[in-house]
Structures are given as structure tokens and as C-alpha cells.
Structure 1
Amino acid sequence: MTTDQTERGARARTRQAVLDAAAAVWARDFSASLSAIAERAEVSRSTLHRYFTDRQALIDALLVDSLARLDTLDDDVADAPAMDVLEYYLRAGVDMGDRVIFLFADPKRFEGNPNWSDDDGDEDMRALVDRARVEGAIADRIPTSWAITLFYAVLYTAAEVSNQDLPRHVAADLAVQSFRRSVAP
């Protein structure tokens, strides 16, 4: 491996460590300082600033990185039954708990940010829930909007609780169980 490749690898790992630290810190306190994030990432404040010039640059980078992670989930389950896809999304979302909380704790947090759209994925989720209904996994009496809102509420709750005192795998199991039972025919 060349020095250039090593540096890119080390730089990429450091950048990712800062993003992960920012997600963990800002999931709990969005007003937390860059110093708190640098400390969590185990880097100096000057190192953090080499990657992100200011707070807004880090917010934008974390927003883009978190949305990209959510978008890649689709690639893994393209042909599965709809309820299995919803279950997969719940489990993956709990695993990405800090990022879920960072993204969705405050609906107005990213207003005006060009990297954010309030309706990203709404139509895809609506189609997925409707497909689950056609496949017999969601009761006809449950409105699509109710199932979607319930899905996000269960996901957010599981992400929040797994950050407190419940192991992620237990929170994910409870999220899946809660959602499935709530919408079952």
C-alpha cells in the first residue's frame, strides 16, 4: 500500500470517526459544541477543523452522510415481501439510532438546508405500505398514513430507548413486534 493510499484510508477513518461522534453527541444535545464532538471522536479540535471548517459544514456533512446511509438500505431488500422490507428498515434504523435521532428529533432543524427535503421517501414508503396491504400483511382497515406514521414512531422510539438502557437487538425485536402486531390483519 502506498503512502497516499494509507493517508486516504486514515483520513477517511478520521472523517468517519468525527461524523459518528457528531451523530452520537447531537442525537442527545444538538447544542453541544464542536469541542464535545472532537473529544468524543478522540481527535483534537484543530483536527476536526481540518475536516469541517465550522459547525454548519459538519451539520451538512452529517446530514448528507446519514441520508446516504438510509438510501443504501433499499439496495439490500429490493425483491423481498413488503413486510420483510419494513422489518429490515426497522432493524437497520435501530442500528443507526444516533443518526435517526439526529435526523428526526426536530422536524424544523434542517428547514432551508439544500440537503434536506421534508418529503424524501414519502412516496416510496406509501408504495411499500400499500404493497404490504396487497400482500396481506397489513389490515385493510388501517389507513396508509396511519401505518407510515406508526412505523416512524416505533422506529424513533426504539432508537431512543436503545440509546438509553436497552440493547439494540432487543429494541429492534420489540420495534418489529410492535409494528407487526399493530397493523396485522
Structure 2
Amino acid sequence: MKDTEQSIIEAAILIFNEDLSAPLEKVAEKAQTTRRTLHRYFKDRNELMQKCKTEIRKACHKAMQKAYDSTEDPVKRLEYMFYAGIECGTKDTFLHKLHTLHDHDHRAHDKECAEYDDTFSVWKSHLQYLQKEGLISSMMTVEWMHQLFQGIVGASVSSRNNPQNDLEVVKKLGWFSFSRGIGL
């Protein structure tokens, strides 16, 4: 039963990342189930979207934390966290898309905004540390570097649609672009 729910969530992330207004039938089809089955797990689109956001935040935060904990070298730490963003793939790009829609007004005290910020708190804190240590450019704000990160992750995820683009090559190209962009 949990597999069906997870399949629906994964399908919704893929479908809604492409088209936020896609019908639930399309999600059910992608999950290889029926709309009726989808509604056994989620009463409506809003509940499904909330579950997707929660799932994405957990997965991305866990991946970032694991990458951070994997080494003591501060530059390698950043590189591994960057790779974690790419490995989160569509989840990362979808979460960022939802959080930066034209009608979204970011408020730190808003529960969803605070949860989004928490997802990337380790990443942003590490960027601040590297700036303080003089290892990356102090010319850019952490928010600017985060937007650059999201843009390069998005480009990396899109380039994965071409089967000729190996994940390891994409990660290295993305890291090259990002690291040069922040003056590393």
C-alpha cells in the first residue's frame, strides 16, 4: 500500500514540475494507477501537493545533511552538497519552482517558507562560512549564490533528459560552472 502512495507522490512531482495545472488523471496514469485509487490516498490536489512538498523537503534536507557530514574539507563539503542538489533532481527543481512562483511572497514566519528555508539551511550556512573564511567571493550574497545553485541544478536536471548525458558528467559540468561562478 505504501508503494502505491509513494508511486503517486513521485508521479505527481514529475507531472506537476512540468505543468502545475495538469489533471490528476495524468498523475494517476504516470503512477500506473487509476484516479479512484489516487483518491484513496489523497482527498484532493491540495493534499497531494502538501504531501509532495513534505516528501521533497525531507529528501533534499537529508541529502544535503548527508553530503555535509561526509567530509571535513570545507570545499569538498560544498561540492558534495552541490551534487546532492543535482541528485535530488526534479524534487529540488520542483520545490524551488513552487517556492518562487510569481505570486509567492516569501515570509520567514510563514510555516511553509520556514520549512523551505530549513531544507537549505545547512547549504546556506556553509556558504556563509566559506565567505567568512575567504574561500569564496564575498561580492555575492548567499541568496544570490543559492539562486545560482538552483539555476545550475535546474539546467543539470534538464540536461539529464538527453540519455547521452551521464549523471557523473552532468554533476562535474554543473560543479565547474557553479564553483567558477562563486569565485572558487
TM-score band, normalised by shorter chain: 0.7 to 0.9
CA contact (8 A) 2:60 2:92 kept: no
Between 58-67 and 164-173, the greater mean CA deviation after superposition: 164-173
Under a length normalisation based on structure 2, what TM-score does the superposition of the two structures give?
A: 0.79
Equivalent position of 2:85 in the other structure: 93
Q: Secondary structure at the match of 1:31?
A: coil
Q: Secondary structure at the match of 2:137?
A: coil
Distance 1:159 1:46, change over 3 A: same
Distance 1:110 1:43, change over 3 A: farther
Unaligned runs of 5+ in 2: none
Aligned-residue CA RMSD (Å): 2.7
Kindly state the Cα deviation for residue 23 of structure 1 after the two structures are TM-superposed.
0.8
What letter matches 2:117 in structure 1?
D
Kindly state the Cα deviation for residue 147 of structure 1 after the two structures are TM-superposed.
2.7
Q: Distance in 1 between matches of 2:49 and 2:105?
A: 13
Q: Distance in 1 between matches of 2:3 and 2:123?
A: 32
Distance 1:104 1:164, change over 3 A: farther
Q: What pairs with 1:61-76 in structure 2 (closer than 5 Å)?
A: 61-76=51-66
CA contact (8 A) 2:64 2:122 kept: no
Kindly state the Cα deviation for residue 96 of structure 1 after the two structures are TM-superposed.
2.1
Distance 1:163 1:90, change over 3 A: farther
Percent identity for Structure 1 against Structure 2? 24
Kindly state the Cα deviation for residue 69 of structure 1 after the two structures are TM-superposed.
0.8
Q: Distance in 2 between matches of 1:80 and 1:51?
A: 42
CA contact (8 A) 2:13 2:52 kept: yes
Q: Does 1 or 2 have the higher relative contact order (CA < 8 Å, sep 6+)?
A: 1
What is the aligned residue count?
174
What letter matches 1:131 in structure 2?
Y
Q: Which structure has the larger Rg?
A: 1
CA contact (8 A) 1:94 1:162 kept: no
Equivalent position of 2:183 in the other structure: 184
Q: Secondary structure at the match of 2:112?
A: coil
Q: Secondary structure at the match of 2:113?
A: coil
Unaligned runs of 5+ in 1: 1-10
Kindly state the Cα deviation for residue 31 of structure 1 after the two structures are TM-superposed.
1.1
Q: Distance in 1 between matches of 2:86 and 2:43?
A: 30
Q: Distance in 1 between matches of 2:16 and 2:167?
A: 19
Q: Secondary structure at the match of 1:53?
A: coil
Task: Kindly indicate whether residue 112 of structure 2 is the aligned counterpart of residue 116 of structure 1.
Answer: yes
Equivalent position of 2:167 in the other structure: 168
Q: Distance in 2 between matches of 1:134 and 1:70?
A: 25
Q: Distance in 2 between matches of 1:100 and 1:48?
A: 23
Equivalent position of 1:36 in the other structure: 26
Kindly state the Cα deviation for residue 89 of structure 1 after the two structures are TM-superposed.
2.4
Q: Deviations over 1:5-42 (max 9, x none)?
A: xxxxxx11111111111111111111111110111111
